[in-house]
Chains A and B, each alone.
Chain A
Amino acid sequence: MSLEPVHALPILDIVGILSLITLSFLLYKAYRVSLNKLFLSFLLGFALLSVGEFGRLILFIAIIFSRRPSFLLFFLNHSLALFSQILEVLGLLVIALGYTLEVFGKGQASALIVAFQERRFLMNPFLLGNVLSASLLVYICLNAFSVYVKNKRSTTLAPLIAFSLLLLSNILSVVAFATREELIVIVSRLIYIAGLYVFLWLALKVVKSP
């Protein structure tokens, strides 16, 4: 089997997952010292995103290295892909809750949960997952932007850039779903991984601070 540039994507993805794990670990340490529940919310969100991303990585490896369609691929596609999508939505929902709790308090946070429970599952679950993720990411990006406006530093800019890249990737996923264009899927993955790399930069900046 000849190696193509697309085969490098899983390696880039592994580093992306490592960045989410590092960030989760830093948030865990922050929670342990401060006992601030908001850290727990962000920790849970990033941990869910990393598990979901790991599921996607396995599926991606299985797809690009498989020689022919198989039952295993069918099984992975119908279990892991949905599992990853659900975890991504849950992870983003918990992160969005974290931002809401910090800015508005408990009342608004429960309103956010109700708003998402009210949605009807009428569409394809994958497309619905992408649309839900994108709407949560819009909300998260707006919050990250307000945090950045309040405190203009590179550390506050990093989450804004990272979440914006995840949002762009999600929008491209929806476009790829509609157009069935393979190139858009790859570009979407690359943008998603770039977003994870911004989180890696943030984690390294925190770890290396004196």
Chain B
Amino acid sequence: MKERRSKLQILADILEALAESGEMNISQLLTAANLSYDRLTRYLRELELNGMIYAERRNSEVRVRLTVKGSSFLQEFRKIKKIAEAFGISL
């Protein structure tokens, strides 16, 4: 059975996808993060409010980028994941 992702893991997945691609639109993020539109926009709003992503409206499209704060949070999360993995803690 596939385990449910925690909120922290979902936020990290979004940031990870952005770190890999540099810049993404909403439909690309929907596929990469494997989320419904409603949930994705909710998480994106939260990430934007915390200064971890930067969303730019260009014509009818929204382009999302990772900020420096988001990038350093992602680095921190990778370390947390390693330590959680070592002691068998599920995030």
Residues of A participating in the B interface, judged by any CB pair closer than 8 Å: 26-27, 29-30, 33-34, 36, 38-39, 42, 98-99, 102-103, 143-144, 146-147, 150-151, 153, 155-156, 158-159, 202, 205-207, 209-210
- Chain B residues lying within 8 Å of A103, measured Cβ to Cβ, are 88
The reply to whether A206 and B77 contact each other, CB–CB distance below 8 Å, is no
Q: Is B1 an interface residue (CB 8 A)?
A: no
The reply to whether A147 and B83 contact each other, CB–CB distance below 8 Å, is no
Q: CB-nearest residue of chain A relative to B88?
A: A147
- Chain B residues lying within 8 Å of A27, measured Cβ to Cβ, are 83
Of B84, B88, B90, the contact of A30 (CB 8 Å cutoff): B84
CA A23 to CA B79, docked complex, whole Å: 12
- Chain B residues lying within 8 Å of A29, measured Cβ to Cβ, are 76, 79-80
A interface: dominant SS: helix
The reply to whether A155 and B78 contact each other, CB–CB distance below 8 Å, is no
Residues of B in contact (CB 8 Å), total 17
Of B77, B82, B89, B90, the contact of A33 (CB 8 Å cutoff): B77
Residues of B participating in the A interface, judged by any CB pair closer than 8 Å: 8, 75-80, 82-91
Of A26, A36, A98, A150, the contact of B79 (CB 8 Å cutoff): A26
The reply to whether B85 and A102 contact each other, CB–CB distance below 8 Å, is no
- Chain A residues lying within 8 Å of B85, measured Cβ to Cβ, are 151, 153, 155-156
Q: CB-nearest residue of chain A relative to B89?
A: A38
Q: CB-nearest residue of chain B relative to A153?
A: B85
Q: CB-nearest residue of chain B relative to A101?
A: B89
CA A36 to CA B89, docked complex, whole Å: 9
- Chain B residues lying within 8 Å of A26, measured Cβ to Cβ, are 79, 83
Of B78, B86, B90, the contact of A202 (CB 8 Å cutoff): B86
The reply to whether A34 and B8 contact each other, CB–CB distance below 8 Å, is yes
Q: CB-nearest residue of chain A relative to B9?
A: A34
- CB B35 to nearest CB in A, in angstroms, measures 20
- Chain A residues lying within 8 Å of B79, measured Cβ to Cβ, are 26, 29-30, 206-207, 209
- Chain B residues lying within 8 Å of A155, measured Cβ to Cβ, are 82, 85-86
Of A102, A143, A156, the contact of B90 (CB 8 Å cutoff): A102
Q: CB-nearest residue of chain A relative to B73?
A: A33
Instruction: Pick the 8 closest A-B CB pairs, nearest first.
Output: A147-B88, A30-B80, A155-B86, A38-B89, A206-B82, A206-B79, A206-B83, A30-B83
Given A99-B88, A143-B88, A146-B88, also A33-B76 (CB < 8 A)? yes
- CB A5 to nearest CB in B, in angstroms, measures 33
CA A103 to CA B88, docked complex, whole Å: 9
Q: CB-nearest residue of chain A relative to B91?
A: A34
The reply to whether B88 and A102 contact each other, CB–CB distance below 8 Å, is yes
Q: Besides A103-B88, A147-B87, 17 other CB < 8 A contacts?
A: A26-B83, A30-B84, A33-B76, A34-B84, A38-B89, A42-B89, A98-B89, A102-B88, A102-B90, A143-B88, A153-B85, A156-B85, A158-B86, A159-B87, A205-B82, A207-B79, A210-B75
